[in-house]
């Protein structure tokens, strides 16, 4: 097993070395610059952590600040809890992402099929993929965490045993959370196909990100009740003695102080919790891992479900444009990764609306600003949400076809037909979500019918330009060779398109909102000039990107 593992890892290292030496000079320069940046960040963290520890010890010894530190508590106790809190804070994200890590590394890797046919045991493939997948994790640990703890130990005057133990503890730190995630993944793949499990995890990750976002928005309320001594005591509560990360932290302190008895006790516990669970993973890998990989072969296909289109649907979307739209609207809900990217902005919008309902008194005449400012603030919020959804739909419009785009390319339809279908799908969020948002503004603020109509037209008109930019650049720079749905958008389409539609949206808000504030002073003609400029700007944002996309599609070699 170890020989096969070493063969695979050595081959992967040779491939990485040859890729670097035979790559372009620009990539070599960027790699060297990245290494220099990592070294600079590590040195900065090393110096900063030592500076903070020494500075706190100096302040605690002074008469002027002695009372303040007496309220906080024992500074030595706080310093002793720092390694435990640091190791735990790094281990928790690894534990949360361990299932996704094991799934992408062990089951969805592109070179998995070629590795499984090599004359090595299955455990060698498992162990090699496991260790290779830990390279980014070790990079983060030894670039960010190790220098900070090195500076911490040096500032406290710990001996050389601390630094040796630190390297050992960090080497074993990922084994515990990643082993738990790997065991859970191998059990789940026996029940749920790997690709379907990936989609489920994407949805769960999106929900977790939403929870984190809502929590971060609520921190300002909690922060008002935090006092420095109370905060210190609450942080010390996370130094739980039964966690394996706390055993590793106590091993560091014991090694730094030269306490051999504590080193043996905590070292044995930490080794059994990390390396012991890793060995269990290797023992169970042959049967569980091989069974999960073999089960993936039967999940590639499926029964084709035919769906009849009602007469009303056929009348609404007739012709080639309607056929493309119906196809995309059927495919989008089936991909949970794409569906989560579309639902996340809607969830954020729902949270913002809840905050507006709970934090704003719309019956009061004094809202902290003029009603016009509040109205355009709500409109800008709604446009931003629609823009996030339209950006994904438009920039990935052609790329969603994947390698099957040649069927659409050889069909007897003009590229403009395809572009108009993709443009209409990208515009739909503004037509549907924008209309609902304007209706909500009408219920909350009760503006005049003219102002409400102006807000609605601003939504629809801005959507025309944003959909034109995203669909046009998505067609001009498509990416048909993607392997994961989150990598559909090419770098050029994402960078150029995002920059242009943000600039366009800002100009649209300026053209429409500017005359509202300046009109009473300069005259009513400014309203017509603002809307005229908005219509002209929208025409350019619609026509020029689509023209670029159509010309690129005609020259595309599939």
pLDDT of residue 368: 42
**What does pLDDT average to over the chain?**
76
481 or 433: which leads in pLDDT? 433
Q: How far is CA 284 from CA 95, 230, 238, 280, in A?
A: 20, 46, 33, 6
In the predicted model, is pLDDT for residue 217 greater than 70? Answer: no
Q: Which residues contact 513 (CB under 8 A, 6 or more apart)?
A: 376
* Angle (CA) 421 422 423, round 5°: 90
pLDDT of residue 36: 92
Q: Where is mean pLDDT largest: 13-22, 382-391, 403-412, 536-545? A: 536-545
pLDDT of residue 362: 45
Which pTM value belongs to this model? 0.59
Structure tokens at 193: 């196909």
The CA distance from 514 to 451, in Å, is 14
Contact in structure between 360 and 432 (CB atoms under 8 Å): no
Q: Indicate the SS3 state at residue 106.
A: helix
Structure tokens at 335: 């991909």
253 or 74: which leads in pLDDT? 253
In the predicted model, is pLDDT for residue 60 greater than 70? Answer: no
The CA distance from 41 to 39, in Å, is 5
Instruction: Name the band, by pLDDT with cuts 50, 70 and 90, for residue 78.
Output: confident
134 or 301: which leads in pLDDT? 134
């Amino acid at each position: 097993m170890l020989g096969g593992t070493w063969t695979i890892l050595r081959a992967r290292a040779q491939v990485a070395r040859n890729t670097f030496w035979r790559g372009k000079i620009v990539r070599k320069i960027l790699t060297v610059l990245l290494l220099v940046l990592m070294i600079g960040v590590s040195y900065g963290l090393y110096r900063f952590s030592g500076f903070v520890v020494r500075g706190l010890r100096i302040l605690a010894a002074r008469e002027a600040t002695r009372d303040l530190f007496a309220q906080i508590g024992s500074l030595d106790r706080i310093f002793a809890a720092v390694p435990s809190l640091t190791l735990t804070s790094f281990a928790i994200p690894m534990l949360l992402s361990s299932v996704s890590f094991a799934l992408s590394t062990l089951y969805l890797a592109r070179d998995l099929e070629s590795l499984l046919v090599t004359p090595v045991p299955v455990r060698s493939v498992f162990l090699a993929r496991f260790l290779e997948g830990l390279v980014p994790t070790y990079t983060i640990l030894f670039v960010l965490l190790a220098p900070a703890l090195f500076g911490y130990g040096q500032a406290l005057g710990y001996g050389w045993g601390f630094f040796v133990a630190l390297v050992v503890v960090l080497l074993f730190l990922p084994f515990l959370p990643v082993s738990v995630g790997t065991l859970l993944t191998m059990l789940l793949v026996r029940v749920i196909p790997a690709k379907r499990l990936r989609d489920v995890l994407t949805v769960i990750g999106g929900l977790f990100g939403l929870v984190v976002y809502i929590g971060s928005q609520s921190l300002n309320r909690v922060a008002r009740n935090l006092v420095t001594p109370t905060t210190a005591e609450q942080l010390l509560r996370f130094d739980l003695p039964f966690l394996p990360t706390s055993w590793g932290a106590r091993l560091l302190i014991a090694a730094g102080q030269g306490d051999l008895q504590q080193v043996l006790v905590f070292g044995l516990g930490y080794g059994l919790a990390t390396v012991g669970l890793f060995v269990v993973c290797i023992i169970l890998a042959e049967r569980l891992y091989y069974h999960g990989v073999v089960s993936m072969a039967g999940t590639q296909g499926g029964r084709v479900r035919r769906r009849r289109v009602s007469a009303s649907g056929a009348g609404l979307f007739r012709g080639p444009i309607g056929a493309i739209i119906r196809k995309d609207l059927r495919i989008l809900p089936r991909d949970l990764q794409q569906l989560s990217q579309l639902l996340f902005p809607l969830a954020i919008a729902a949270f913002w609306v809840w905050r507006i309902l709970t934090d704003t008194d719309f019956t009061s005449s004094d809202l902290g600003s003029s009603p016009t400012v509040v109205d355009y603030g709500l409109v800008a919020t709604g446009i931003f949400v629609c823009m996030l959804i339209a950006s994904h739909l438009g920039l990935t419009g052609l790329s969603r076809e994947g390698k099957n785009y040649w069927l659409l390319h050889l069909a007897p339809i003009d590229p403009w037909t395809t572009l108009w279908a993709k443009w209409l799908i990208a515009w739909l969020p503004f037509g549907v979500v924008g209309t609902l948002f304007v209706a909500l503004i009408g219920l909350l603020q009760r503006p005049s019918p003219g102002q409400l109509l102006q807000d609605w037209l601003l939504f629809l008109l801005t959507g025309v330009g944003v959909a034109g930019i995203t669909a046009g650049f998505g067609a001009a720079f498509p990416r048909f060779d993607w392997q994961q749905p989150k990598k559909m958008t090419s770098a050029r389409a994402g960078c150029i398109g995002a920059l242009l539609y943000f600039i366009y949206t800002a100009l649209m808000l300026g053209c429409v909102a500017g005359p509202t504030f300046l009109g009473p002073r300069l005259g009513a003609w400014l309203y017509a000039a603002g809307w005229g400029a908005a219509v002209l700007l929208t025409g350019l944002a619609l026509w020029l990107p689509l023209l670029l996309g159509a010309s690129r599609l005609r020259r595309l070699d599939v």
